[in-house]
């Protein structure tokens, strides 16, 4: 993890360009694709794609000269690290083909677990076609409805990290602005031209009759499964969207209505704007749902302007509570998924998970907590459909290295280690931090955080090296988290609380 942090820190100025000048200048490698793999924590797959010959040796690095930020991205050094540090440690080559990734959605075959989630990223024929060509297994098409949709402008805002990339994303976007007939035509064309891809039709009705009719139309026009949108935070007026997901009786009622209109698999898409998701999930099961999709976006307000006093996005002097997504919501999504995965009443239901997935590691975490399929939107909006390459390659290589034959064999392996209460955790031992002197630069960040946010157990010696007072340390590991050099880890053994070790530097 330390090396990955270093790789990504050197990538911070990379713009992840379209038709990247660095690749056009090189002519022998594809530096842009390799750097993108580094960005998406797929270093092993990137190293596996490097030829045995060192093509960068004695090269004048035209890739760096052609970079749109010349001198700011150490392309040759990054590729050198992949070749010299990562490639020699590869356990296996990247498996060819995608056989390892095959799975299913309620019996519908999936080429891999990755779907576009219901949103703007899957809202037209052209967009879905390009996503399928790129390698996505399917799409949860943008929610179809029978009422008029007129969007606001602007309708997006975001919280960005140090690199400028989006950490948290807010939208006030609503549903598909195409007519039902137009969307049915899109389904027919997609199924005709991409018969092996999965079309998960997202629908929202205003009453029982509409839920039933929309489900029937989707089946007749080529959908493989149907997702019931009970959770859109931007369609709350009149008992729509997330208002339904908060009322189990409505979830059951409208699921049953949709079930009357179709024999296709039904997935209920649930809202995270609740304390517990299980009541709505169990109601969906009673209504005839075959699976669940979670989580939809979280109600939010972002960035109140200190001059206009309006939050973002501002629409002619007003804003509104909207849906929050992006990598920042992943911990919340994982929490709800674990709840669903541990509920015995829901055993056997398909879980299609989403909420902050950017990398194959993110997707892996959802699968380990019970997901059968994984949906993505915000990362696609930021980086494009091309991220599917690293999603597939990273997961594929992980499966091969661990000896798994499919994503299904990973499903739920982490559930037994999750407790819904901290009261069950062992509290009679301490795991001390361990300082890695060769990485430490003596900044003192660990001492500051321990003094002002911890237990005053760290001081700097005359050489500006941290020294731990074992009598005061409680093993909270705040110092591990704040170290900018990743120079603090964990000791190898726990010490019981009855032992009070002398001051030491471990």
The answer, yes or no, to whether residue 478 has pLDDT greater than 50, is yes
pLDDT bracket for residue 19 (50, 70, 90): very high
Beta bridge partners of 312: 302
Residue from 247, 242, 302, 251 nearest 272 by CA: 242
d(C-alpha 115, C-alpha 352), whole Å: 9
3-class DSSP string for 248-263: HHHHHHHHHHHHHHCC
How far is Cα 490 from Cα 470, in angstroms, rounded to an integer?
A: 14
Per the model's pLDDT, the better-predicted residue between 505 and 449 turns out to be 449
User: What pLDDT does residue 495 have?
Assistant: 86
Over residues 310-337, the pLDDT tens digits come to: 998 999 999 999 999 999 999 999 999 9
On the 0-12 / 13-18 / 19+ scale of CB atoms within 10 A, 94 is middle
The structural domains of the chain, ordered by start, are 2-89 (no CATH), 99-148+168-297+322-417 (3.20.20.70), 427-496 (3.30.70.20)
The helix (H) or strand (E) run that includes residue 198 is strand 198-203
Q: Looking at residue 396, what is its pLDDT?
A: 97
Assess contact for 356 and 362: CB atoms under 8 A: yes
Per-residue pLDDT reduced to its tens digit, 437-463 = 999 999 999 999 999 999 999 999 999
Tens-digit pLDDT profile for residues 36-80: 999 999 999 999 999 988 888 888 999 999 999 998 999 999 999
* Alpha carbon distances (Å) from 417 to 388, 422, 481: 29, 12, 22
The rounded distance, in Å, linking the Cα atoms of 398 and 500 is 41
More reliable by pLDDT, 207 or 147: 207
Q: What is the pTM of this model?
A: 0.93
> Residues 129, 130, 132, 138: what is their CA dihedral angle, to the nearest 10 degrees?
-70
Secondary structure (DSSP) of 296-360 = -PEEE-B---TTT--PBSPBTTB---EEEESGGGHHHHHHHHHHHHT-GGGTT-EEEE-SS--SH
- Concerning whether 198 is annotated as a catalytic residue, the answer is no
C-alpha atoms less than 13 angstroms from C-alpha of 389 in its C-beta half-sphere = 19
The angle at the Cα of 188, spanning 197 to 266, to the nearest 5 degrees, equals 60
Tokens 């007749």 sit at which residue? 220
Q: Over the chain, what is the mean pLDDT?
A: 92
Give residue 76's region: left, alpha or beta (phi > 0; psi -120 to 50). Answer: alpha
14, 232, 446, 479: the catalytic one is 232
For residue 495, the cross-strand partners are 430
- The residue that leads in pLDDT, 173 or 345, is 345
**pLDDT tier at 172, thresholds 50, 70, 90:** confident
The average pLDDT across 199-208 equals: 95
Output Rg (C-alpha) for the chain, integer angstroms.
Answer: 25
Higher pLDDT among residues 176 and 265, named by residue: 265
What backbone torsions phi and psi does residue 486 show, to the nearest 5 degrees? Answer: 50, 40
Look at residues 212, 208, 228, 231 and name the one whose alpha carbon lies nearest to residue 220.
212
Mean pLDDT, residues 407-430: 94
CA distance 117 to 103: 17
Residue 256 neighbours by CB under 8 Å, 6+ apart: 287, 288
């Amino acid at each position: 993890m330390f090396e990955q942090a270093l790789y990504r820190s050197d990538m911070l100025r990379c713009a992840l360009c379209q038709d990247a000048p660095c690749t056009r200048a090189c002519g022998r490698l594809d530096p842009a694709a390799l750097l993108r793999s580094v960005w998406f924590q797929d270093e092993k797959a990137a190293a596996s794609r490097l030829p045995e010959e060192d093509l960068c040796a004695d090269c004048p690095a035209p890739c760096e000269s052609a970079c749109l930020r010349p001198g700011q991205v150490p392309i040759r050094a990054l590729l050198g690290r992949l070749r010299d540090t990562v490639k020699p440690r590869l356990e296996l080559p990247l498996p060819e083909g995608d056989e390892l990734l095959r799975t299913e959605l309620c019996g519908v075959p999936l080429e891999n677990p990755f779907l576009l989630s219901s949103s703007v990223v899957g809202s037209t024929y052209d967009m879905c076609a390009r996503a399928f060509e790129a390698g996505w297994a399917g799409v949860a098409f943008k929610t179809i409805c029978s009422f008029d949709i007129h969007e606001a402008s602007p309708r997006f805002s975001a919280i960005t990290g140090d690199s400028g990339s989006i950490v948290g994303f807010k939208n006030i976007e609503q549903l598909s602005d195409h007519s039902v007939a137009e969307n049915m035509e899109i389904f027919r064309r997609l199924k005709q031209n991409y018969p092996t891809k999965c079309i998960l039709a997202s629908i929202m009705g205003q009453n029982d009759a509409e839920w039933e009719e929309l489900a029937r139309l989707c089946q007749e026009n080529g959908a493989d499964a149907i997702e019931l949108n009970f959770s859109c935070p931007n369609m709350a007026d009149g008992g729509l969207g997330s208002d339904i997901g908060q009322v189990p009786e409505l979830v059951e009622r409208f699921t049953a209505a949709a079930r009357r209109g179709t024999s296709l698999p039904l997935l209920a898409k649930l809202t995270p704007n609740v304390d517990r998701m299980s009541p709505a999930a169990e109601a969906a099961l009673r209504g005839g749902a075959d699976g669940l999709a979670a989580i939809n976006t979280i109600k939010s307000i972002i960035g109140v302007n200190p001059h206009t006093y309006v939050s973002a996005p501002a629409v002619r002097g007003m804003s509104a509570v909207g849906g929050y997504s992006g990598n920042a919501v992943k911990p919340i999504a994982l929490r709800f998924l674990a709840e669903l995965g541990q509920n015995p009443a829901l055993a056997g239901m398909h879980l299609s998970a989403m909420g902050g997935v950017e990398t194959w590691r993110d997707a892996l975490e959802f699968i380990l907590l019970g997901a059968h399929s994984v949906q993505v939107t915000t990362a696609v909006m930021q980086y494009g459909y091309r991220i599917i390459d690293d999603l597939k390659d990273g997961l594929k290589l992980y499966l091969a290295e661990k000896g798994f034959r499919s994503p299904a064999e990973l499903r739920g392996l982490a559930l037994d280690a999750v407790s819904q209460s901290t009261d069950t955790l062992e509290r009679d031992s301490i795991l001390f931090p361990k300082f890695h002197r060769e990485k430490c630069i003596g900044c003192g960040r660990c001492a500051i955080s321990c003094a002002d946010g911890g237990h005053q157990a760290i001081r700097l010696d005359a050489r500006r090296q941290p020294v731990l007072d074992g009598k005061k340390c409680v093993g909270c590991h705040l110092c591990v988290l704040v170290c900018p050099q990743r120079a603090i880890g964990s000791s190898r053994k726990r010490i019981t609380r009855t032992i009070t070790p002398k001051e030491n530097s471990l």
